[in-house]
Each structure stands twice: as structure tokens, then as C-alpha cells.
Chains A and B, each alone.
Chain A
């Protein structure tokens, strides 16, 4: 029955050109690193895998303090709820489909409010030369996850994603992606930003 519904939605999407995503049943595994206590959310739906790994604000401070950012910018980045993010197309080479993501379409829900996630382009544009040197901007340009990317089977990429909410805050995230030309969506619930304390064991 669910297969029939999926076919109807796909046909409707193709015929009408509606950009409404197809809601997909996904597996979301939540785990904790035994060594450092950091939590991870692993989203699996068909050939796409998305991993969000907590980053302590101190880790982010350590990364950006090595570069020419103002103290205010480093603090802003450190406390913007960053996750180490890995996206993979786990499809088989030769038979798998390309998967593409567009982070401008991802939506988060925090404290009853729905919003987009923090993207790197407006962040970089908001900085003056005093806030960040050109070399420092390159670190964010290449350190944060690409806003749009296509993954062929076997491809994966990693980078930082930011959610612009305080350390320790909780949110739900609607992720979406295109696979086989169909826009699909799934949800990761109860994601928790790393708190701004040293939780290393």
C-alpha cells in the first residue's frame, strides 16, 4: 500500500512539477562516543546517510583561534551549535543513483519556531576585514559543509553545519535531498547541541 502511495506521489510530483518533498521512512540511530561522551545522530534512508556529531564549543574555539578571526567572531562561531556533518551516497557504483542536497531547504524547529539552518555564505558576507582576514574566511568557506552538492555512489563529504542556537539547546531537523530526481525528506528529532562545558572523560 505504501508503495502505491509513493508511486502516486512521485507521479504527481513529476506531472505537476510540485516541489513538495516525498516523506521517507528513515532509520535514525543515536549513539554516544564511549571515549569522549559526544553524541551522534546517524540518519539512513535508501542510499543517503547523514551523520551529525556534536562538537564542543571549545573544539570550535580551538579550530578558529588558530586563524585570523576577531575574538567576537570566534565566540559567535563556537556558540552557534556546530555539528561535524558527514553525508554519504552509499549506493553501489554502476547501479546507484546520484543524490543531491541543498541546505537552503533544510528546516529546523527550535522552541516552537521553524527556521532555516545557518549557511556559510551569509555568514562570510557579514564579516568585515577586521572580523576575519581573507585567509580566515577561506577556513569557513572550506570548513563548513557546501550549501549544495551532488554525490555519486561512493562519494561522501564532511564539514561543519551550524544551527545558530545556544549550546545545550535541543531541536528537530527536517533534512531533504534529491534521489532519482525526486525530492525526499526525513526528520531527525531531539538533536542536542553540545553544552559549553568540558565533558571529556
Chain B
């Protein structure tokens, strides 16, 4: 976990004090809304449909118990007792009052948090594999590199006014749990021929109005050159990005228009001119950062008799183990998913009481470590096998143990038109209707891995383009309609979904999903996932089932 030093601490406290002054000047009429709006956005404060919304940065989705407790306190004291975890692993509070915002920033600063760079044309909160430091399939702990990027990118003067927002994701495992290929820069750690570690550098991914899968511009960048190379990419983008057209300002458009090869050439040229030694992190500093990410594991036997007895005694617990736990690199431990997707609830929402419970569990059972995933769930990365029955009971009691990770009810949904000023249609009720139809855990497990992702507008915060089933809310002649895409994926073999057919009215979406699942169950062969079957059959049988009535 990162640690603020005295300078960091003083800075975030000063920043909160500065915002207090700015809010008071705004309320007194000394500055106009046009002058104030960029200031509040630099502190993560948006104005939405019903109130202000505060987007709080959770660096690479990592939280300590005291921080989650503080978020619970803020949600209870200044909001309506809940918060919403996003696909960017941040937390959004939807009922904030402007006059309370400075106090909230003070409270965040006390626990090493802020809302800086959660808006605006800057480098946003960096994301990393939520299994970091826990999974056996990683080459290194990606948080070390994510923290390096966090320190470099925070308030970087050269990159504070980019053509558009900029997002970086880091993974160090073969399985991509961070969606690196849909990021402005995706960094995928690889081992070189000589055993040295380096990054595959993927640039120009992104969703929104013009979805793109990122292109690899360098197969292998030695890790020691990470920052100088990132700086070269950002310089090329900063110089040539389309500031004249907001719809063409993201780096994906620049990479697509130049071609990945030419973009790479320009980056290499810029990099060659760079004084790398001035920018790249010294080994001593890297070692210091690495020291903050070394959990004190106990030496434990790889098998727990307590766990095995509980597994045998309770089928519900056995199902939870099957769906919501994953192997750990350290014998005697497991990674545990905390599902925020109980059918009927709002995906990603968590009450203050639930936050406090998970904070307590993390302190007692997970080395004070909590992660947020981009699928809008949490996880406890380091739980002793012996403790799993107790952790499961506690999570179950709080409605946080739905055994549905990666299943059809584990749906991503943005806040949509229920909250968001940009939305065209609601996303949450669509997710609720679908999840309720598949609430039977036997049925959900029979269907198997199936990612549904829903966005309420083309900005695609709900990642609909890369859902196995993607759903996009549109405004069609004055009513909420939904376009369905199939076959998208955010993993290693990333792909954009293909359009199913004409948009569906809200009342027909859950039924359409049910019909498509029936097609899949009929067509699937030899353990195929929904995505595999779709890739084999193409869109035709699904289209035929959903639009049968129209013929």
C-alpha cells in the first residue's frame, strides 16, 4: 500500500483548504460558475441530476480498512448512506452538497485520499490487476509500477492540460483482469529472452463514441525505462492530439489516424531525444516503493481441514468457494470476491454498514487490504483458508456473498439516467431486471461465464462495447431504447461487440437476454462459454431468436 510522506500529507491538506476558500468565494458571488466549474471538477465534484456528485480516487483500486471506514463515515454523514463503485475503481457519492465538499476533502486527506484528477483532461487514476500481490500467475506486483505512475502523474505540470482525459492500466499476469486493451495506455508485464522484465506497451484503446482496441507500439520496454517512455508517448499526444474537436481528442483517434507504426516511430524519436536518466526512477526509489508492497504472510499448510469440513457440510458454502474464491500464490491463503451484485440491487452500490463490515473483515482476515475491481465488486486478497467459513458467514449476513462472480448476474452498469447528467437512458433498472430473471444460482451457474455490460449513453462508462452481451441505452423518438451487441471482450483476446439488430424497448431487454441464453444453451459444445459459442456460430442464431416475432 502506498504511504503519504509529510510533503504529500501537507499538500492534500493544503489543497482541501484551498478548495474551502474557493467554495466560500463562489457562495459569496466573488467568482462565477464559469470560473468555479473547472476548479470544482479538478477536485472531483460534478453537478448531476439531483445533487453534486463527488468522485473519489482509489489508487489502483487499493484500500486499507481505515480508508474504507472513512468512506463509510462520509457516505453516512454527507450522503444518503451509500456509495457507488465504478468501472474505474473509484467511488462516487451521488448526493453531495457543495457546502459540505471542503469538509469531505479534509476528511479524505486525513486518510491519504483525495479526488484530484478524477475529472478533467489529465492523467486519471491508474488502475491495476485487483489480484496484485496475491495471484500466482503474475511476474511481479503491478502495484509497484502503478504506484510509480501515480507519483509521476499526480499534478505533472506538463500533462495537466492534455487534449483530453488519459487513462493508464497495468497488469503483470497472463490473464488480463484490468482491460488493458481498452485503455489509452495498457501496460502488460512480460519476461524478456534474457529473463529481464519489461512491458508490452499498448496504446490507443478506448470505448465511447469511437471504440478502439489498443495497438502494441512496443513489444518489450525494460521496466527501468517506464517513466521516460510514458513521457515520450504523452509528449507526442500532447503535441498532436486534436484539441480542435472534443470527439476526436482522445489518443485513440491520433493513433488510428497516424497508424500504430507511425505513432510508434514518433514516440521512439521523442524518446531518443529524452534525457532518460532525469526521468526514469532511480533504483533506490523503486526499492522504497516496492517495500510498501510486501505483505507479511504466515507460513501455513496448503490445505485446511477446517475449510474442507465446512465445504463438505454446506453446499451453499461450497458454491461460494467455487465462484467467489481464487487460488493464492501463498500456501494456505485464498483471494475472496465480495459481490456487489445481489440480484435486485444496484450494481456497484454499497451501504456504509457494508463498507464497515468489509473494513472489519479485511483488518481481521486480509492483512488490512481491500481491492476494488473494474467489474464493480470488491475483493479481500489475502484470506487464510482456515478463516474462509467465518468470512463467508459474515459476508452472507450482509448480502455480500452472492456466488455469482463472472456469471450472468455479475452485471456492470453505469449510473445512467437515474443520476447522470449525460445519460440518455437508464442502465440500473435494466441490470436489475436481467439479474432477477437469473437469480436462481443453479441456473446462473449452468449458464456459466457471461459478462453483461450496460451503459446509459455512448460515453460507455458501462463498457458495453466489450460485454459478451453489451447493452447501450439510446434515446429513440423520445423513449428509452437499448442497442444490443454480442461478442465483445475486455480480456487478452479483446474484441468489440457486433450489433444484434434494431434497438429494443426497455421492457423487452431482459426477455431478449433470456432468448439469447436459450440459443447458447442449445448451441454450445464441449464446455464452451457464451463468448466461445458466439464466436463459432456468429450473430445469426441469436438474431433469429430475438427478432422472431418481427418476421
A binds B: no
